[in-house]
A = this chain, B = another copy of it.
Amino acid sequence: MATHHISQKSLCNCTALRKATRRVSQLYDSALEPCGLRSTQRTILIQIARSGTPPLGELAEALVMDRGALTHNLKPLQRDGFVKISVDPQDRRNRLVALTAQGRAKLAESEVLWARAQRGFEAGFGAAKSASLRKALEFLVSDDFVNAFNGQG
């Protein structure tokens, strides 16, 4: 056949991810709106809470985020008193990021709002399918995937 049907649906995996992320972020952000945190900000605070007092670079890596981007993203959180950044006395190149009491309080405040959004997601997508999806998405951020993507696999 000479003519090739151009599908209306994009086959691009990146496009599909970006569209879904825009939509889902908007839903979670709406749910979080009463507490004043955006989903990215909440994710950052949670990661800090889990990591203790990580240096900025480690935090960025855990968040799958560029270090410069993280530095920028921390600005509003510092300004609002949720995180405190200090110089590591052991290695003055490092910046140690820590939650403040206010940060922990805000995180606690956001918990119920986040849980409602999460329940909404799983109501729409199914709890089991959601877990599978997260697993798939976690693989996409793994070194194995990146290496295969770049042809080293």
Contact = CB atoms under 8 A, between A and B. Distances in A.
Interface of A: 6, 8-25, 27-28, 39-40, 43, 46-47, 50, 63-65, 114, 117-118, 120-125, 129-130, 133-134, 136-141, 144-151, 153
Nearest to A122: B13
A10 B139 contact: no
B64 A12 contact: no
Copies in the complex: 2
A114 B11 CA distance: 11
B149 A118 contact: no
B23 A14 contact: no
B124 A13 contact: no
A131 B137 CA distance: 14
A15 to B, nearest CB: 5
